Amino acid sequence: MIKFGLHWPEGSRLLDIVFYMIRKPDEFIIKQGTTRADLYLEAHRILWPEDDQHRWFVLGMRRIVENQITVLMGSASSAKTHTMSCHALITFFVHPLNSFSMISSTERLQPLSFLTYSAKWRVGIPVILIIISTGK
């Protein structure tokens, strides 16, 4: 099988290939004709095929991947927290011993509001969810 200009053993899973590529340096990724952001979007499509990759999701994911610190501002229900949660989970799956993500929202932080995002863990990885609330 050939993917990203490289030969992979027969039976290689696409998700394993994408995660391998994400672990590589930017110079290697670009040499293979893709970008780190495209790899994150591909991983998202594989992990959660039912999720819509609308223009705000794609733009948000690209900016998160391209920058060390990202602040997303926008209207309600424009997938800001959802996008950051997907990025955080993919980063954790790729680097489980060397990743940290902090996601904050201006909404009242209640445990139920994070169930939507923690449901993404259904891919079989244990969850530790810490919620710090300063809500009124």
Predicted TM-score (pTM) above 0.85 = no
CA distance 121 to 111: 15
Burial 106-131 (b: 16+ CB within 10 A, else e): eeeeeeeebeebeebeeeeeeeeeee
| Cβ neighbours of residue 91 closer than 8 Å, sequence gap 6 or more | 99, 101
Percent of the chain scored above 90 by pLDDT?
Answer: 45
Element (H, E) at 74: none
CA distance 102 to 38: 22
pLDDT at site 72: 85
How far is residue 67 CA from its own chain's centroid? Answer: 14
Give the residue among 125, 103, 123 at the shortest CA–CA distance from 113. 103
- What is the mean pLDDT of each successive set of 10 residues along the chain, which is 136 residues long? 92 95 96 96 93 92 93 82 86 85 64 51 50 46
